[in-house]
Structure 1
Amino acid sequence: MLEAIEGVFIVAQTPFDDRQDIDLPSVDTLVDFYARHGANGLTVLGVSGEAGKLTGEEALAVAGRYIARAGTMPVIVGVSSTNLAHLSRLTNAVMDAGAAGVMIAPAPGIRTDEDLFRYFETVFAAIGDVPVVLQDFPFATNVGMSVPAILELVKRHPQIQVLKEEDLPSLNKITRLRQAGGRRIAILTGNNAMYLPLELERGIDGPMAGFSYPEMLSGVFRLHRAGDIQAANDLFDRYLPLLRYEAMGFWGVAARKEAMRRRGALAHATMRQPGPALTADDHLEIDRLIARVETRLAEAA
C-alpha cells in the first residue's frame, strides 16, 4: 500500500538508442544510478518519460524491465490514457509484473466536477482495487481539479492513496489539502522539483520529479526531514541553475538526458521523434552549467 510512502520517487527516463528503439539495457543502468543517488522509489511512463511515444507493447516492456531491476524498490507506472481499455489492460499487466501502483490523471476534455467524478467511477470500475496515484497536472491535461473535488475523489475511492500535486501555484493548494482533514494520503510534487524546499515546508511527503542529479533531491529531502532547513535550502541552491534549465518542457528533458548520458546513467541521450534535438550551443550551455554545479559543490565541501 502507498498511503505511508515518503521520500524521493524519481520520474525515470525512457532510454532510446541511436535508432530511436527502446534501449532496455540502459533501463538497468538507470535503475542502478537512481538507487545509488538516494531514490526511494521510481515512477515510470510519466509525461517526461515520453510515455505518449510508446506502443502498448513497448510501454509494458519498459515498465516490466524497470520493475524487475528495481527489486524491492517500489515502482509506480503511469497508465493515463484517453483509451480506457488500454488504461485497464496496462494497469492489469504492470500490477501482475509487480508494480506498487499506477498513476492516473483525468482525461482531457473533462470540464465539470460531475464529469470528473463520473470519469473516475468508470476507471475504478474497470481496474478494481489497485493502489493509485492521482495526478493533478493541468498543464498537461488541461483539466483543473479544485481542492474540494480532490477531497471528494479521495473520500469516494480508497484506491487513491497518493496525490501527485503539480498544479501551479502549488504551495497554497498543498496547505489547503493538508488542513482539510479526512483520510490522509501522501502528497508528492512534480514540476521538476523547482519549488521543493518550499513544498516540504508546506507538508508534502517528498518529490516525484526527474533531475539529472537525483542526489540533490534525496539530499534536500533528508536534510529537511532532519530539521536542517538552512542546509536543505543551501544544497538546493547549488543546483538551481541546472535544475531551472531542465525545467523547459520536453526540451529540458533532452538536456537532462544528455547530462545523464555524460554521467554514465544511460548509453544515449536520444529523444524519440517528434522531439527536440540539442544544438552545439545547447551542449556548450550544458557544459557551463555542469561546471558551475561542480564548482559550487567543491566550494561547499
Structure 2
Amino acid sequence: METKNITGLTEFILTGLTHQPEWQVPLFLLFWMIYLITIVGNFGLIALICNDPHLHIPMYLFLGNLAFVDTWLSSTVTPKMLLNFFAMSKECKIQFFSFAICVTTECFLLATMAFDRYVAICKPLLYPVIMTNRLCIWLLVLSFLGGLFHAIIHNAFLLRLTFCNSIIVHHFYCDIIPLFKISCTDPTINFLMVFIFAGSIQTFTISIVLVSYTLVLFTILKKKSLQGIRKAFSTCGAHLLSVSLYYGPLLFMYVLPGSAQENDQNMMDSLFYTVIIPFLSPIIYSLRNKKVIDSLTKMLKRNV
C-alpha cells in the first residue's frame, strides 16, 4: 500500500477523553461545571484585586495575573474537550501554541511569586525599594514573553514533521508529545528540544522557588514570635501547595517524555494541570489568605 506523507498539517482529529458512550454525558456535565466554576472563581479573584486598593501590592498583582493565565489555560483546553465528547475536534496547532504560552508563563509567574515572598519575609524593610512597580511590570512582561518565545520554538520545530495518513491524536487536546507519536519523521530532534527548553525552564523556575522558600524557612525559624511564624506559613502555604500540584505532572510529561507511560496515564496527568489546577487555584489562594477573605466579605456587605 502506498504511504502518503502529509506535511504542513494544521488540523488533526482528537479522540477525546473517553470512547465509552455511557460516560460522555456525565463527564460533559462534570467538566462543564468545573469550567464554569474555574471561570467565575478566577475572574472573581481578578475583580476583587482590581476593586480593592488594599490589594494593590505586588503579591496580588502577580496573583491576579496567575488567575488570568489559569483562565486562559482552562479556556484553551476545556471547551475543546467538552466538544470532543460529542464530535471529534480538528483544530490542533493553534491550540497547542496557546497552551504552550499559558503553561510556560505560569511557571515563570510561580517563580516570580516565590521571589516576591522571599523579599517580603526576608527583607521586609527593603521590600518597597526592591519590589517597585517598574520591576513588577518587567517581571510580568518577561514571564509572558518567555511563554511566547517557548511556544514559537516548539511550533517552528513541528514544521519539520510529516504525518503518514494518520491524523488521529490520542488525546483530549493537542499536545506536542502525542503529535510526535504519530509522525512518520524521526522526532528525536523535537524530543531533544522539548527536553532542553522545557527542562531548562522548569529547572530554572523550580530552583528559584526552592531557594526562595529555603531562605524564607530559615528566616521564619529565627523568629521568636509564634504569631509571626504562623502568619508567614499562612502566606506561603497556598503558593507552596500550588507549586507542588503544578510541577509534578509537568516534570513527567515534558522533562521525562520517554518514560514508560500509557496514553491514559498521560491524559490523566494532563487533565490535572490543565483543568483541575486552574479550578483549584482560586480556592487555594482565597481560603488561605485573610486579606482576600476580608476583601470579599466587605464587597459582599456593600452589595447586600
TM-score of the superposed pair, with normalisation by structure 1: 0.28
Q: 1 or 2, which has the higher strand percentage?
A: 1
- Higher relative contact order, chain-length normalized (CA < 8 Å, sep 6+): 2
Which structure has the larger Rg? 2
